[in-house]
A and B are shown apart, each in its own frame.
Chain A
Amino acid sequence: MFGFDLTPDIEELISVVARLGAEELHDGVRDAEQAGAWPDRVLAVLRELPLGGLDLPESLGGVGAGCLAKVAVLEELAAHDAGGLPATDQPGPAVGAVLACPDTDRAREVAGASLDGRAGCVLAVVEEGQLLAARLAWVPARPLPSWVWVSQADDLCLLQVEAAAGTGRESADESPLAFHASGSSSVSLTSAEVIGSWPLALRGGLQVRGMARLWAAAVLLGVARAALASTLVYTTERVVFGKPVAHHQGNAFDLAAIAARVHAAGLCVRDAAGRFDGNDPDAGFWATAAWVEMTETAMAVTDLGIQLLGGHGFLMDHLAEKRFREARMLGLLFGGRDGADADLASAVIAVPDPIVPGEIT
């Protein structure tokens, strides 16, 4: 079997959210940032989908559409507006932790509360040998998180932050770099109650972190796609020195190269999603690699977007500056680049070639 096709079901999901994005999100991006939330009618449609349950099995309250479906939907929404996704998609990046948790009753409880909006859960990535930070610097404000999954090496831990009276969930004083439509809060962990702690299988932690990174990579892909598309529109319309900006060879070459990178990174994202759906034990490795690829690419294409818009790119009249901020922020989550590099390095020799087997019999 060999193919890059999406199933008709996934294509249908994409068309639904594409319509939603075009009709309800695209023109209201700045309003959503001001409001700190996506419009209620958007949230209602996504709850109905349900966005948060696409990649959760039915046994955990989801619809079992799979990781590839989730990634495709996130990409499409992010291409219109990524701003509200962290708050809207619950359990979102923490879904890998929910799936990996050996205490299925507890996992179902957390997933259920996240899906129906009663309480949120977030994933904190802690470097091997490091202590858990006293505070998570940024989490979406709605729903305020009641649980924090902690992924450290191949261990998984669940904390309840509601128990930390007075020091648990706090609103952040200032807006974060991006994702203003998701609001902002920070979480203190100094008095958090440990609900459970579980050792996972070898590279099981990387699967958990990989799913979170894949979530971010899918959003980055949508951001990158939108940045490229809007840059192409502007640079083919705007004339400088007698011809469109894009038709000056220096710019044309940069645009062509970045288009190839966006396409390549997008294939990596979808490939990794397919690996999760196929229960590949190394999907987390390839998802982490896809996130690194996507982070570098998104930062490059959003930077180029501003650059080619010139002074306009720096203004909030255009969305180029928003995408530039989003790309940077998504590259800092879930252990950041250094954490991802450390994860990749620790597994790189053990992970087999994903296409051509090492031994052929």
Chain B
Amino acid sequence: MIALDRGTLRALGQVRQLGREHMRPIGVESDRTGLPPPADHPFYLLCSRRGGLVSWETGEADGEDGDADTESSSPDGRARLAWRPLRALLLNEEAAYWDRGVALSLPGPGLGGAALRTTATPEQREKYLAVFSDHERAHWGAMAMTEPGAGSDVARIQTRARRDGDEWVLSGSKMFCSNGARADWVVVWATVDPGLGREGHRAFVVERGTPGFEVIKIEHKMGSRGYETASFSLDDVRVSAGNLLGGESFYESRRGFKGAMATFNITRPIHAAQGVGMGRAALDLAIEFVRSEYPTHGRRRQRALERIAEIRRGLHAARLLCMHAVWLAAQDKPNTLEASYSKLYAPPIVLRAVSTAMDVIGEDAVRRDAMIEKLYRDVKILDIGEGTQQVQRVVVARQLFGFPRDP
């Protein structure tokens, strides 16, 4: 059995309150207008003043000491940001329960933070995370990997990184970058030579306002409209050598690409856990419907309860997979397989949960003002972002039985 510590319970309570009072209504409004909340939305300032999600995840906000069960430390013994993976997982799940789109738009380092954790030097982590200590303004970080011609096959990225003296020059374009247009900095993955494949990959921090960095477009999406999904171009963007995450030595052999993949080993279970939160929202809607429409015994009530039990069973299994994957990560144990298990398994289960809840609710579920209708549109992206289900199957197949890479 898993018991939650007081700090995690307190943080969950905060997210729940914010979710009920702000995230759900803001998410519904964003869905209606098709636009994410603006960066200066009062809700973001409120979040920042309360310490921001990054602080809730790390325990910084309430001055907690390290927790031996959840604290992460680097293999070389140097202190790492006291990141609590289970807490991060459950807070993401809870936030997504209220509105995943708005949850993804919350101020904080986002996916960029995960890249910093796996790839950056301690000095770089300190430098780029410092901005989140400013609680008087909302701040975001982001990560950009996907390109118009390289989605699932991230090894094929074409954005070029060229060394020029003490600087690097970046050229190319990126898309599907969450919060990329409002971020203080973006971790940009580029290649020093496309011919080198994964071995050519490097990660750079590009700060907002750097000349040549231009947001081209904010995408219009079927669902999950509470956060911005940006495309941007890099036109001879110059960054200092110090912006190369991990420094030159990190990229010897294939560590660069492995750094990116290690990032996914953290983010995939969290991404999957967001789905569990959305599934829980669908579950509660179905239960509410049954209580209201079938309050006493009857054939329809029995059938509905059986289907609700099916939803709970699937979500419980998905949640345990996510928790197991981050538990391994927290101990610096290999978790590539388990992270992909969680990402492979959870999204289809969650889609089925939402769809089954719609079955329970019936025709009312199609109404645009029905929360379940929005959830159905919101949830599909889970099976695509952070590596599609198909990519996860490839990863698992490679890990388990040596499924070959393309020549």
Chain A residue numbers with a CB within 8 Å of B1 are 271, 274-275, 277-278, 280
Asked if B114 is an interface residue, CB under 8 A from chain A, the answer is: no
A-B contact pairs, 24 of them (CB 8 A): A2-B323, A3-B2, A246-B397, A247-B404, A255-B397, A256-B393, A256-B397, A259-B341, A260-B341, A264-B317, A264-B321, A264-B341, A268-B320, A277-B1, A280-B1, A293-B317, A344-B312, A345-B305, A345-B308, A355-B2, A355-B319, A356-B90, A356-B93, A360-B9
User: How close is B73's CB to chain A, nearest CB, in angstroms?
Assistant: 16
Determine whether the beta carbon of A256 is less than 8 Å from that of B400.
yes
User: How close is B269's CB to chain A, nearest CB, in angstroms?
Assistant: 12
Asked if A252 is an interface residue, CB under 8 A from chain B, the answer is: yes
Binary per-residue interface labels of chain A (254-276) against chain B in the complex, 1 for a CB within 8 Å, 0 otherwise? 01110111011101100100110
A274 to B9, CA, bound (A): 21
Q: Which of A232, A243, A259, A360 contacts B16 (CB 8 A)?
A: A360
Determine whether the beta carbon of B400 is less than 8 Å from that of A259.
yes
Q: Which of B5, B316, B319 has the most CB of A within 10 A?
A: B316
User: How close is B14's CB to chain A, nearest CB, in angstroms?
Assistant: 9
Asked if A354 is an interface residue, CB under 8 A from chain B, the answer is: yes
Determine whether the beta carbon of B318 is less than 8 Å from that of A264.
yes
User: How close is A213's CB to chain B, nearest CB, in angstroms?
Assistant: 13
Determine whether the beta carbon of A1 is less than 8 Å from that of B287.
no
Asked if A341 is an interface residue, CB under 8 A from chain B, the answer is: yes
A292 to B290, CA, bound (A): 23
Known contacts A2-B69, A264-B341; A344/B306 CB under 8 A = yes
Q: How large is the interface on A (under 10, 10 to 19, 20 to 34, 35 or more residues)?
A: 35 or more
Determine whether the beta carbon of A4 is less than 8 Å from that of B393.
no
Binary per-residue interface labels of chain A (345-360) against chain B in the complex, 1 for a CB within 8 Å, 0 otherwise? 1101101011111001
Known: A256-B397, A355-B2. 19 other contacts (CB 8 A): A1-B69, A2-B2, A2-B5, A252-B397, A252-B401, A255-B401, A260-B340, A267-B317, A267-B320, A267-B324, A268-B320, A271-B316, A293-B313, A345-B305, A349-B287, A349-B308, A355-B323, A357-B9, A361-B13
Determine whether the beta carbon of A349 is less than 8 Å from that of B305.
yes
Asked if B309 is an interface residue, CB under 8 A from chain A, the answer is: yes
Residues of A bordering B, CB below 8 Å: 1-4, 232, 235-236, 243, 246-247, 252-253, 255-257, 259-261, 263-265, 267-268, 271, 274-275, 277-278, 280, 286, 289, 292-293, 341-342, 344-346, 348-349, 351, 353-357, 360-361
Chain B residue numbers with a CB within 8 Å of A355 are 2, 4, 90, 319, 323
A252 to B319, CA, bound (A): 25
Q: Which of B313, B324, B401 contacts A4 (CB 8 A)?
A: B324
User: How close is A227's CB to chain B, nearest CB, in angstroms?
Assistant: 14
Nearest-CB residue, chain B, relative to A344: B309
Nearest-CB residue, chain A, relative to B307: A345
Known contacts A253-B393, A256-B396; A349/B290 CB under 8 A = yes
Chain A residue numbers with a CB within 8 Å of B397 are 246, 252-253, 255-256
